[in-house]
Structure 1
Amino acid sequence: MSGVILKDIIKRYGDVQVVHGVDLQIEDGEFCVFVGPSGCGKSTLLRMVAGLEETTSGAISIGAQDVTNRDPAERGVAMVFQTYALYPHMTVEENMGFGLKMTGHPKAEIKEKVSAASKILKLDDYLGRKPKALSGGQRQRVAIGRAIVRGPEVFLFDEPLSNLDAELRVEMRVEIARLHKEIGATMIYVTHDQVEAMTLADKIVVLRAGRIEQVGAPLELYRDPDNKFVAGFIGSPAMNFFDGTVSGDGVFVPGIGLTVSTSVALPAAEAAVIVGVRPNHIVVDPAGDTHTVDITESLGGVSYVYLTAKDGSRLIVESHEEEPARSGATVGLKIDETSAMFFDAQTELRFR
């Protein structure tokens, strides 16, 4: 297996530049997830690693080899797409072994590798079936199995779970995590779903508009984001943001009618800042009467209370009460001030 190094990667389509000087090192055996909103360049970056997109400038190395200008077949990678791309007239076994068959591998070797992959993915009972007789999750496992059989140095996943329903996505996340643990390969995984990123990754790369915003372990990004974008993108439900003004006692937040104290070094008094508070760091105070509950999502062990603040802004509060506030109620809020984050109103960089 091998690591991947991207050095000053730039991608242009004509006069439009979509990837801006990306530098990144992915260690051997690491599970790295590219995450970000649609159009941020994550799939383009993955396709450049695969060789499916030309690199305008910069260098891509896999292991000790510079593969920037090599054909996809010479890079030692295998890609799993959002669409399963299975041959409908072939059985599962034939689909999984087709790549090796086309490169002239002996039948016995193909059978051995397909058998080993099918055991890992629990596909032994389906080897004789054709894709139309499989569920979506089973088809995706076949697509992953086809990649395993090739024995690549690096696995590339391009939003492989997007076509599955919610239950299957959870199941396949566990399967992919188990697969990585079992075979120990370097994996690069693209998703817009930050829950997938948090679940699977050793390392998350947060992208926006073709640039890396921050790189780190999932909990590192959650607890210590560099800027407002990362803070709002990592975590579900998303962080609440409020406009605030620096005062002598901390930051006054007119939207919620509270002053949030902090030990963080902030600009001079009267300066505008942004205050970020996660839903699990706010508590609903039933005795208050300053905010209106719009709707409450009761999910069993946890509820999410959606409120309209006194200035008309919206916020979400995570509640573990057996009887959470109901729609139409007016309530107050209490904030865990030690967990609040503060961002520059202009640059959106975090004050630390």
Structure 2
Amino acid sequence: MSGVKITNAIKKYEAVQVIHGVDLQVDDGEFCVFVGPSGCGKSTLLRMIAGLEETTDGSIEIGNRDVTRADPADRGVAMVFQTYALYPHMTVAENMGFGLKMNGVPKAEIDRKVGEASQILKLDDYLDRKPKALSGGQRQRVAIGRAIVRGPEVFLFDEPLSNLDAELRVEMRVELARLHKEIGATMIYVTHDQVEAMTLADKIVVLRAGVVEQVGSPMQLYKNPDNKFVAGFIGSPGMNFVNGIVEAGAIKVDAFADRAVASTAKLPENGASVTVGIRPQHLRVDPKGSGLKVDLVEHLGGVTYIYLDAANGERIIVEASAEVDAPSYGSDVSVTFDDENVMLFDAKTEKRIR
């Protein structure tokens, strides 16, 4: 297996630039996830690694080989797409081995590799079936098996679970995590779903508008985001953001009934505007307080989400244990929290204030 090194990668479509000087190192055997909103450039960057999109400038190395201008077939990668793209008239075994057959690999070798892949993916009982007789999750496993039999240096996944229902998505996430541990391959995975990113990744690359916002392990990005975008994108539900004003070395927040937030961060001058961020699970509802109206209560079994509206129009989400009595719709409450759980961001640049 091999790692991937991207150096100052740029992609332009005529006058429109969509990837802006990306630098990235994916280590050998690492599970790296590109995550970000639609249109951020994550699939384009993946296709550049695969050779399906030409790299305008910069370089891409796979296993210390410069493959920037190499044909896709010569890069040592295998790609699994969002759509299964299986041949409907072929069996599972024939679909998995078709690429090898086209490359002139002997039948005995194809059978051996298909057999090994089917064991890994638990497809032994389905090898004689055709795609129409398979579930969505089974079809996606066949598509992954087709990639495995090629023995690539790097696996590339372009939102492979987005066509599956919620239950199958969870099942396939577990399958992919197990697959990575079993074969130890370098894998690069694209998704817009930050839950997939958090559960699968060794390393997460957060992209916005063709720029890498931050790279790190899931918990590094969750606990120590560099800016408001990363803080809001990583974590479910997303972080609450409210406006604050620096006053006498603390932050006054209207949404918190003018409660002053103390911080060890290096604050700007008095009167400066900042954005105060706090995650839903770090807030507690105080039914004896006032200043926030209960707009919606969601009971999800193990947890309850309480949606609160401030008088200035800002919205706050509180995550509470199911055992906690939730306030009723329309009631007047306030929130309490520990100052150490608050993050501060510059109101203009959105960068973290540390």
Question: 1:284·1:333 contact (CA, 8 Å) conserved in 2?
Answer: yes
- Could you tell me which residue of structure 1 aligns to residue 194 of structure 2? 194
**Whole-angstrom distance in 1 between the partners of 2:322 and 2:270:** 38
Give the match for residue 145 of structure 1: 145
Q: Are 1:256 and 1:310, in contact at CA under 8 Å, matched by a contact in 2?
A: no
Counterparts of 2:327 and 2:230, CA distance in 1 = 30
Alignment of 1:321-340 (within 5 A): 321-322=322-323, 323-340=325-342
Deviation at 1:249, TM superposition (A): 4.8
**2:223 partner letter:** R
Structure 2 residue aligned with 1:12: 12
Output the CA distance in 2 between the equivalents of 1:52 and 1:74: 12
Letter in 1 for 2:112: E
**Structure 1 CA distance, aligned partners of 2:72 and 2:154?**
12
Identical pairs, percent:
70
3-state DSSP of counterpart to 1:173 = helix
Residue 246 of structure 1 is matched in structure 2 by 246
The answer as to whether partners of 1:293 and 1:326 remain within 8 angstroms in 2 is yes
Residue of structure 2 in register with 1:304 after alignment = 305
3-state secondary structure, aligned to 2:139: helix
Paired letter, 1:103: N
* 1:183-242 Cα shifts (integer Å, max 9, x gaps): 000000000000000000000000000000000000000000000000000000000001
CA deviations over 1:244-264 (Å, ceiling 9, x no partner): 000115100112212111111
Matched-pair contact (CA < 8 Å) for 1:117–1:145: yes
Provide the secondary structure at the position in 1 that maps to 2:182.
helix
Q: 1:342 aligned to 2:344?
A: yes
TM-score computed with the length of structure 1 as normaliser: 0.99
**Distance in 1 of aligned mates of 2:346 and 2:11:** 30
CA contact 2:249–2:270 (8 Å) conserved in 1: no
C-alpha separation in 1, matches of 2:248 and 2:322: 35
Partner in structure 2 of residue 60 of structure 1: 60
The separation in 1 between residues aligned to 2:329 and 2:89, in whole angstroms, is 54
Note if contact 1:295-1:306 (Cα within 8 Å) is conserved in structure 2: yes
Q: Is this contact kept in 1: 2:301–2:322, CA < 8 A?
A: no
How much has 1:289 moved relative to structure 2? 2.5
**Is the 8 Å Cα contact of residues 97 and 146 (structure 2) preserved in structure 1?**
yes
Amino acid at match of 1:112: R
How far, CA to CA, are the matches of 2:200 and 2:322 in structure 1?
30
- Letter of the structure 2 residue corresponding to residue 325 of structure 1: P
C-alpha distance in structure 2 between counterparts of 1:10 and 1:327, whole Å: 51
Question: 2:309 is aligned with what amino acid?
Answer: T
Matched to 1:230, the amino acid is: V
TM-score by length of 2: 0.98
8 Å CA contact retained: 2:173, 2:200: yes
Given that residues 40 and 210 in structure 1 are in contact (C-alpha distance below 8 angstroms), is that contact kept between their aligned partners in structure 2? yes
Indicate the RMSD between aligned Cα atoms, in angstroms. Answer: 0.8
For 1:255, what is the secondary structure of its paired residue?
A: helix
Native 8 Å contact 1:249 1:259 kept in 2: no
For residue 276 of structure 1, what is the aligned residue in structure 2?
Answer: 277
Residue 322 of structure 2 is aligned to residue 314 of structure 1: no
Q: Which residue identity is paired with 1:201?
A: A
The alpha carbon displacement at 1:326 in A equals 2.6
Deviation, structure 1 residue 307: 1.1
Could you say which residue in structure 2 is the equivalent of 1:101?
101
User: For residue 289 of structure 1, what is the aligned residue in structure 2?
Assistant: 290
Report the residue type matching 1:163 in the other structure: N
Which structure 1 residue ranges, 5 or more long, are not aligned? none
Write the letter of the residue equivalent to 1:226: D
Evaluate the alpha carbon distance shift between residue 321 and residue 165 of structure 1 in structure 2; reply closer, same or farther with a 3 A threshold. closer
Do 1:32 and 1:187's aligned partners in 2 also have CA atoms closer than 8 Å? yes
Task: Report the CA distance between 1:327 and its aligned residue.
Answer: 2.0
Letter in 2 for 1:274: T
- SS state at 2:252 partner: strand
Q: Which amino acid aligns with 2:196?
A: E
Instruction: For 1:128-143, list aligned pairs within 5 A.
Output: 128-143=128-143
The residue that corresponds to 1:230 in the other structure is: 230
CA distance in 2, matches of 1:38, 1:335: 33
Q: Which aligned runs of 4 or more in structure 1 are off by greater than 4 angstroms?
A: none
* Cα pair 1:282 1:335 within 8 Å, conserved: yes
Q: 1:314 Cα deviation (Å)? A: 1.1
- 1:321 deviates by 4.5
Matched residue type, 1:180: H
Kept in 2, the 8 Å contact 1:286–1:330? The answer is: yes
The 10-residue stretch of structure 1 (111-120 or 249-258) with the greater mean CA deviation from structure 2: 249-258
1:260 aligns with 2:256: no
